[in-house]
Structure 1
Amino acid sequence: MEQYLTLCKHIQETGVMKGDRTGTGTKSVFGYQMRFDLSKGFPLLTTKKTAFRLVVSELLWFLKGDTNVKTLIENNNHIWDEWAFEKWVKSESYQGPDMTNFGVRAAKDLAFKAIVDEQMEIFCSKILADEQFASDFGDLGPVYGRQWRSWPAKDGATIDQLQNLIEQIKVNPNSRRHIITAWNPAEVDEMALPPCHTFMQFYVAEGKLSCQLYQRSADVFLGVPFNIASYALLTHLIAKECHLEVGEFVHTLGDAHLYVNHMDQVETQLKRTPRELPTLILSAEKESIFDYELEDIAIEGYDPHPRIKAPIAV
């Protein structure tokens, strides 16, 4: 994963300071590309432990067209909690302590972080126990799963972009139209978080499937390692169903940034030496990409450096 570390160094050395939506501040570059040969190992970051189980459960959530955090929380996946939590604490139903700018404040104030953690625990418990509460506050709007599986058509029907893509790869592998987009201008304002990874194109050559992702906004320390693993996994899953080998994952970034409150963590990571990449193991019994469950996907030989914690910007 030298490609990823090179990106971090590039931002450190050439990035410009910019304000951002969260008020945290970033160091940013515009336009960057990484390439990963998927035949040489699964690109799961080794210079800090990355929770592969969370990558898998989030991708399966997308594949099922789900948009409610309840499914993720049931699988002990909390990577989307903050955006649903924000919806609750901004509503009239919320009666707890003031949560204004809770993400930024918690990063600077440990006492306040404890209060946020307590409220977040209450929120997750309510999501699991109360169907109406989950419906009101757990749904993130028409985010990735909705756009991939149920893009609204002008005639009132929906378009399953992912199913159509797989069918076209099987019958017309040389097409230059193997594309899925998550950026729907008509619905972007209804989403809790507009899609960061917005557009993907698949390419078949010499019996191998490659994927290029365009990501408009890239949180390089926290988000990008997950994005790399997620789209590498998606490429493997589609390749298996289409009886193809895997080729490359090409990751093209728009605004690639390091948050200012992640800089120390990046320095720690850059001092570490990358280790051998793990191997992806997919259940031989599953043929359709839509049939996979958590237990059907695993990795072997993953020996990362310890996890490095950092606050998320909401």
Structure 2
Amino acid sequence: MLAASPHPETQYLDLMRRIWSEGSERIDRTGIGTRSVFGATLRFDLAGGAMPLITSKRVYWKTATRELLWFLDGETNIRPLVLQGVSIWNEWPHARYVSETGDDIPLEDFVKRIANDESFAANWGDLGPVYGKQWVDWPTWRYRPDGLYEPGEGINQVAQVVESLRTNPGSRRHIIEGWNVAQLDRMALPPCHKTYQFHVADGKLNGLLYQRSCDVALGLPFNLWSAALLQRMLAQQTDLEPGEFIWMGGDVHLYLNHGELIEEQLTREPQGRPRLEIVRRPDSIFDYRIDDFSVLDYRPLGALKAPVAV
């Protein structure tokens, strides 16, 4: 009798366990400290609607989906997220506001002002040229006859990838890149999930995400879902079947103040096999709505919370 194949989530828990037990302790940018390993790979088969949606704790996949749609809109201001109840980016502009104004406003009050005051949000809710800006409006410069440069037309990398997958599927250049070296110092946070590459074989779309820095406890469950979802959307738009999703991490770490969450999660077993149904095919990769996505058979164990390191 053949042994049952391991649950796809087991590799995620094994990575968490390895970092927590064997990782090198390091002082990081936040001052909190991490245990870290360098270089890791996870692989997931997306056939049959399967998705890398973590079940050993509840992952708020709709929040991650709203963030992805925000990226595809080219947005860099948190206000559209705040108005949808998405709080994952709030700490960064709040920290900048407190630092630059000296007004030690509580985070909750800051977020309310972002929601209720458009001019305040315009001044203090922007994150700089983060993911969405680079994905759909990568800045260019045009050389003028007088010897000066002026802004040129932005590059929509996502639209280019859709077109190249349709017209030149064998290309090795199906890439979306977020690491714009010239603008890193203007971003609230340089891109962690920085490079996406896609590959077509036998009518299937495979995807790979390289992540330079990864908080495995809080960030990675969102990153896995979001990257696989983008791959599923691209597959639908290009009439391809979803293939394999590969995640690769550089500095892969756990924060020292997340120990309680980590140790609890490592006692849990994966639950079921969640699947995603995309219930509508919009005209464009940029026209999806939150209601277009339905998750089936998702019965996770309870939520686990820990503070975000800013």
Q: What's the TM-score, normalizing by structure 2?
A: 0.92
1:154 counterpart (134, 141, 150): 141
d(CA) in 2 for partners of 1:25, 1:13: 15
1:184 counterpart (175, 180, 185): 180
Match of 1:113 in 2: none
Q: Deviations over 1:3-29 (max 9, x none)?
A: 100111111232100000000000000
Is the partner of 2:100 in helix, strand or coil?
coil
1:280 counterpart (276, 282, 291): 276
Q: CA deviation at 1:201?
A: 0.5
When structure 1 is superposed on structure 2, of 286-295 and 160-169 the one drifting more is: 286-295
Q: Does 1:122 align with 2:109?
A: yes
Contact 1:8 1:220 in 2 (8 A): yes
Match of 2:103 in 1: 95
Letter in 2 for 1:269: Q
Match of 1:31 in 2: 39
Contact 1:67 1:141 in 2 (8 A): yes
Is the partner of 2:158 in helix, strand or coil?
helix
Contact 2:93 2:127 in 1 (8 A): yes
Match of 2:4 in 1: none
1:303 counterpart (294, 299, 304): 299
Match of 1:110 in 2: none
Q: Does 1:169 align with 2:156?
A: no
Contact 2:274 2:297 in 1 (8 A): yes
Q: Does 1:64 align with 2:73?
A: yes
Q: CA deviation at 1:277?
A: 2.1
Q: CA deviation at 1:204?
A: 0.5
Letter in 2 for 1:78: S
Is the partner of 1:290 in helix, strand or coil?
coil
Q: CA deviation at 1:276?
A: 1.4
Is the partner of 1:252 in helix, strand or coil?
strand
Match of 2:148 in 1: none
Q: CA deviation at 1:217?
A: 0.3
Is the partner of 1:168 in helix, strand or coil?
helix
Match of 1:43 in 2: 52
d(CA) in 2 for partners of 1:180, 1:298: 26
Q: CA deviation at 1:216?
A: 0.4
Identity %: 47
Match of 2:15 in 1: 7
d(CA) in 2 for partners of 1:67, 1:158: 15
Is the partner of 1:289 in helix, strand or coil?
coil
Letter in 2 for 1:33: T
Q: CA deviation at 1:285?
A: 4.2
Q: Deviations over 1:39-76 (max 9, x none)?
A: 16211000000001101100000011000100100110
Letter in 2 for 1:280: L
d(CA) in 1 for partners of 2:107, 2:262: 27
Match of 1:106 in 2: none
Is the partner of 1:123 in helix, strand or coil?
helix
Q: Deviations over 1:80-113 (max 9, x none)?
A: 0001111111122x5336xxxxxxxxxxxxxxxx
Gaps of at least 5 residues in structure 2 are 1-8, 143-151
d(CA) in 1 for partners of 2:138, 2:68: 17
Q: CA deviation at 1:132?
A: 1.2
When structure 1 is superposed on structure 2, of 278-287 and 161-170 the one drifting more is: 278-287
2:30 counterpart (22, 31, 40): 22
Match of 1:137 in 2: 124
Contact 1:240 1:287 in 2 (8 A): no
2:224 counterpart (220, 224, 228): 228
d(CA) in 1 for partners of 2:78, 2:290: 16
Q: CA deviation at 1:279?
A: 1.2
d(CA) in 1 for partners of 2:263, 2:294: 30
Q: Deviations over 1:107-132 (max 9, x none)?
A: xxxxxxxxxxxx11211111111111
Q: CA deviation at 1:258?
A: 0.4
Aligned-pair Cα RMSD in Å: 1.1
Letter in 2 for 1:29: V
